[in-house]
Amino acid sequence: MRRIALFLGTNLAVLVVLGIVMTLLEPWLIAQGYNVNTVWILAIALVFGMGGAIVSLLLSKRMALMSTRARVITRPTSQTERWLVETVARQAKEAGIGMPDVAIYDAPEPNAFATGASRDNALVAVSTGLLRAMRPNEVEAVLGHEVSHVANGDMITLTLIQGVLNTFVLILSRVLGQIIDRVVFRSDRAYGPGYFLSVIVLQIVLGILASMIVMAFSRWREFRADAGGAQLAGRDNMISALRRLKQSQMPSQLPESVEAFGIRGRVGEGIKRLMMSHPPLDERIRALGNL
């Protein structure tokens, strides 16, 4: 629950801060004689809503390397590193993408992730725990899963969805805020106290709903990446890798900014599941069995 609260708090804090800035800016623009209409609000919302998401995408590789302290393999120094680079290179060629950077990060949990701003400028990283816990055919399947994330453009799509929803939240909260201010609070001013209060509450509520939509897409893309990993490394190997992950009792230790792009993540039941980036491993194994 603490991780869920941190996830919600971070996203909602960004929306609320941007919303407060816009709320304070709009009356000033009116006082300066500017006509603030829907188009203008949309332009501001696009800058604030999409801008942050796009910046995070452009910096995703650097931030992932910094947060996990991963080391990019520039010159393989061992047979394992050489095999990792050669395997990713082969899979990338089969998937029709540019060669991603390959990295290893020190963590006891078996995990891996992919990130990057485009299909030809990506990063695939595996943990030392994964290399210790899995057989080569299982590691190959995990690499195929991550390469499929890159080939499917999941990082870009997820960022765009988040940006669009941020924009939607910023705009809709202001439109509804004006309606509530005039209808419920009977304010005769352009921006009464009811407007400011309504906007903050609406941003929190709509922000939660937006996060649920983003996480729903994140769970769906995991099934698709599993199918891609099965194509690149074999279905039995992909199933075996997921079963090996299921045996691990260690919780995911990936940073929040990277966890959604890992091979495994935290899952939950009931309402908690709506905020999880990964579906249960049992469901993923069943889906592969039905391919």
Domain positions in the chain are: 2-58+157-213, 62-152+217-289
Contact (CB, 8 A) for 26 and 191: yes
**Helix, coil or strand: residue 47:** helix
DSSP string, 78-115: SHHHHHHHHHHHHHHHHHT-PPPEEEEE--SS--EEEE
Element (H, E) at 197: helix 193-233
Which tokens is 261 given?
Answer: 């792009």
pTM: 0.79
How far apart CA 191 and CA 169 sit, in angstroms, is 19
pLDDT at 263: 76
CA neighbor of 268 nearest in space, from 255, 251, 248, 285: 251
CATH number of 62-152+217-289, picked from 1.20.58.340, 3.40.50.1980, 3.30.2010.10, 3.40.50.261: 3.30.2010.10
pLDDT at 4: 46
pLDDT at 40: 63
b/e map of 91-127 (b: 16 or more CB within 10 Å)?
Answer: bbeebebeebbbbbbebebbbbbbbbbebeebbbbbb
- Please give the DSSP secondary-structure letter assigned to residue 269: S
- Residue 236 CB contacts under 8 Å (≥ 6 apart), including other chains: none
The catalytically annotated residue of 109, 146, 222, 259 is 146
pLDDT at 157: 84
Which tokens is 42 given?
Answer: 């949309």
How far apart CA 105 and CA 125 sit, in angstroms, is 7
How far apart CA 105 and CA 52 sit, in angstroms, is 27
How many Å is the Cα radius of gyration of the chain? 22
How far apart CA 253 and CA 109 sit, in angstroms, is 7
CA neighbor of 268 nearest in space, from 256, 285, 280, 283: 280
Contact (CB, 8 A) for 20 and 200: yes
pLDDT at 1: 44
Mean pLDDT, the chain cut into blocks of 10 residues (291 residues total): 49 61 64 55 67 78 90 94 97 95 94 90 94 95 96 86 81 81 73 83 91 89 94 95 84 69 64 77 92 78
pLDDT at 7: 47
Contact (CB, 8 A) for 38 and 46: no
DSSP string, 112-166: EEEEEEETTEEEEEEEHHHHHHS-HHHHHHHHHHHHHHHHTTHHHHHHHHHHHHH
Residue 146 annotated to the active site: yes
